[in-house]
Amino acid sequence: MHRRAFAIGVAFTVLAAPSSGRGQSAGRVHRLAILSPSTQSAERGAAASRIPAALRHLGYVEGQNLVLERRSAEGQLNRLPGLARELVQLRPDVILGIGPDAVRAAREVAGRIPIVMFAAVDPVAQGWVASLARPGGTLTGVVIAPDSRLAGKRLQLLREAVPRATRIAVLSTSEPQSSAESRMIQEAARGLDVVVLPVEVKGADYGAAFAQIVTGRAEALIVVASSILNLDRQQIMDLSTKHRLPAIYQWRVHVEEGGLMSYGSDIEALSQRAATHIHRIFKGAAAGELPIEQPNIYEMAINLKTARALGLTVPPGLLGRADRVVE
């Protein structure tokens, strides 16, 4: 079931029509480098696969007028700087950085090569750009979530789905953005009749993390936005089901692959925005003159099959607000 996604927060900046280019020849082949922390198999349905698909709709066909150079860190973030250097040596027209760690690694070595970011990070606070409206320099792109509002919203939706849950675990990693979201959830829980149990995955030991969750008598789970947790999402969803833990995730793909709930940005719309930025740079636009986009459309998805497996009855009011329901 699909419904029109509801809008929250700051509206997208309206993009001008793509420029016709400066000295671009009709037969030019463009080279796009994609730097990602995940494995390529985990990128199915994610930005690293959706953005090239969106570029195809803009007329860029791999093997014809587009060369894609992909480097994936397989979940090992310390590999990103070396992979970024490899990509720079290939002299791409644009580097697409997926996630804040990939963007950070690309910025260190890219020089004058434009970077399009797709990440849950505040680039102004990081000192990467002067402002979202006028970034300056060589960085532009898309911010997945503009502020902390999603943390509290996921807590609210999970409690609505599981009213009995008074102890809620928060699964995070040592990534700065992941740890920050965990803290935001704890702050959002203040004043509510709920105990938050923060659990950090260490060394990809999900067995130990879930043992801690079970020992803490958690009745539900929030999985924070994280490149690493997205990479390992199947393990997390399997363990959540094994321990009968209702869980909420970031992306709709989690629900389509068996997770209970998700609430986050519309990844397809954001991918199209990122592709438009890449297209405009290919045509001669300066990255620093392209505003960094923020989402104004968020979507909630619910998997009823998973709910039944957990013995959970989703309240009709919540179900009626879902933008996507997997039967």
266 — pLDDT class (breaks 50, 70, 90): confident
Distance CA 15, CA 80 (A): 31
pTM (2 d.p.): 0.79
Residue listed under structure tokens 């699909």: 2
The residues facing 129 across adjacent strands are none
CATH of domain 10-146+266-296: 3.40.50.2300
Q: Are 33 and 71 in contact (CB under 8 A)?
A: yes
Dist CA 123 CA 142 (whole Å):
10
Contact of 168 with 247, CB cutoff 8 Å: no
Instruction: Give yes or no for residue 45 having a pLDDT over 80.
Output: no
Strand partners, 168: 196, 220
Per-residue pLDDT band at 20 (split at 50, 70, 90): very low
Mean pLDDT for the chain overall: 87
* CA 187 to centroid of chain Cα atoms: 22
Question: What confidence score (pLDDT) does residue 44 get?
Answer: 54
Q: Could you tell me if 194 and 142 are in contact, meaning their C-beta atoms sit under 8 angstroms apart?
A: no
What pLDDT score does 313 carry? Answer: 95
If one compares 18 and 195, the residue with the highest pLDDT of the two is: 195
Residue 177 pLDDT class (50, 70, 90 cuts): confident
Query: What integer pLDDT is reported at residue 39 of this predicted model?
Result: 66
Phi/psi of residue 196, nearest 5 degrees: -100, 130
Rounded to whole angstroms, the Cα distance separating 215 from 218 reads 8
47-57 helix and 267-282 helix, angle to the nearest 10 degrees:
60
**Range from 38-47, 122-131, 219-228 carrying the lowest mean pLDDT:** 38-47
Domain 10-146+266-296 matches domain 149-264+300-326 at the CATH topology level: yes
| 139-152 per-position pLDDT tens digit | 999 998 755 568 88
Domain residue limits, the chain:
10-146+266-296, 149-264+300-326
pLDDT value for 146: 56
> When comparing pLDDT for 40 and 213, which is higher?
213
Q: Residue 302: in which H helix or E strand, if any?
A: strand 297-303
Query: What is the spatial distance between Cα 34 and Cα 210, in angstroms, rounded to a whole number?
Result: 33
∠49-261-36 over CA atoms, to 5°? 25
307 vs 251: CA distance, rounded Å: 17
Q: The CATH number of 149-264+300-326 is which of 2.160.10.10, 3.40.50.2300, 1.10.3680.10, 3.40.50.720?
A: 3.40.50.2300
Cβ neighbours of residue 82 closer than 8 Å, sequence gap 6 or more: none
Tell me what pLDDT residue 179 has: 83
CA distance 251 to 254: 6
Question: What is the chain's alpha carbon radius of gyration, rounded to the nearest angstrom?
Answer: 20
Owner of token pair 């990844």: 267
CA–CA distance, 254 with 234 (Å, rounded to integer): 8
- Pairwise CA distance, residues 251 & 268, whole Å: 11
Whether 220 and 261 have beta carbons less than 8 Å apart is answered as: no
Average pLDDT over residues 240-248: 96
